[in-house]
Structure 1
């Protein structure tokens, strides 16, 4: 990757894919192989936990009714506030993106495994691939994404299509990714291919650093 911003000596693999493509299943397989997983979605939740700078700033901006009865962020209320308000959405992104990046970099730097995986659905959209030495796209056809997402999240086909259409297109992701793993087949075949990629990444990590 060009402009790779290395952190310490850790070799970073960026793992991405659209909704319903099976990123979690693949990252779980890598975790079982002893690889540290840094998940951008989990970090996005951590930076707004009670007591954090992120949540304090949100409460100051939106008021205490943005919290639920337990004093944690009411996500559906926040989504409703920013959904059709570009200005509020921009304010929230300006607050959260730096906090998320700082924690991402810290976690990537502190990882002790042979290489570290950065999982992010918006890896390319948010230019997080700049932190990666190599990128892996978990790929399935759009109709598979829709079927899996409607089943898993109990949402309509229209809602699933809206989410998919809001993300970078499958073709663009395929063009940007260094490696592509077809996840629309028997899980054992996926595992076999992932093991081969894992061996390759171990070699790369050893030779690059």
Structure 2
């Protein structure tokens, strides 16, 4: 991204701690764009993407307040690759457009996009740098089981639906190891931040 602005993608495997790393960068001064939050906004009741999604998957995915149950929808799309691709065709163009529009409008020198499917959606093509957050699978499963209330089967289905983490690491400009203590991760983040600010 031009005009003295650096656009950085943050990604990794599910449960690797991307959002925690993004929060550390935010404390240092980065503007964070949360792709999951934008996805929620895109699928808000009675929006165009909401209507298309309900038409495609039926009213069984709706909560009583007409919002889409992410768990119900996940139960469908993570067991059927064709249905997952259908959902992606409905939502991804709008999500990517909103991310890039938000990035253009911000005044921050470093803008970071927290996106679990950065590579899968080819969003990395718009980034100046890509950071991959690494954490071993057993630790990720434990974290998601406790904090996300997900079963091991659900976690493994979502892991399988994503690009392998080793492939993301190969493509990354920067890898942050989130397998150790928080203080270790913070040191990695601060070191990375210093390098990034030297390139703005």
TM-score (norm 2): 0.87
Q: Counterparts of 1:187-202 in structure 2 under 5 Å?
A: 187-202=182-197
Size of the aligned set, in residue pairs, is: 200
Task: Assess, with a 3 A threshold, how the Cα gap between structure 1 residues 164 and 8 changes in structure 2: closer, same or farther.
Answer: same
Separation (CA, whole Å) in 2 of partners of 1:151 and 1:163? 16
Q: In the alignment, does 2:88 pair up with 1:93?
A: yes
1:185 equivalent among 180, 183, 196: 180
5+ long unaligned stretches in structure 1: 1-5
- How much has 1:141 moved relative to structure 2? 1.5
Task: Assess, with a 3 A threshold, how the Cα gap between structure 1 residues 133 and 162 changes in structure 2: closer, same or farther.
Answer: same
- Render the CA deviation track for 1:110-154: whole Å, top value 9, x for unaligned: 122121001111111221111110111111122221221222223
- How much has 1:158 moved relative to structure 2? 3.5
Separation (CA, whole Å) in 1 of partners of 2:45 and 2:113? 25
Task: Assess, with a 3 A threshold, how the Cα gap between structure 1 residues 53 and 7 changes in structure 2: closer, same or farther.
Answer: farther
Separation (CA, whole Å) in 2 of partners of 1:193 and 1:86? 36
TM-score (norm 1): 0.84
What RMSD, in angstroms, separates the aligned Cα atoms of the two structures?
2.3
- How much has 1:84 moved relative to structure 2? 5.1
**Higher radius of gyration, 1 or 2:** 1
Is 81-90 or 7-16 further displaced after alignment? 81-90
Q: In the alignment, does 2:165 pair up with 1:170?
A: yes
Runs of 4+ aligned structure 1 residues displaced above 6 Å come to none
- How much has 1:170 moved relative to structure 2? 2.3
Q: Contact 1:41 / 1:120 at 8 angstroms: preserved in 2?
A: yes
SS of aligned partner of 2:33: strand
Instruction: Identify the residue that residue 53 of structure 2 maps to in structure 1.
Output: 58
Instruction: Identify the residue that residue 153 of structure 1 maps to in structure 2.
Output: 148
1:138 equivalent among 133, 139, 149: 133
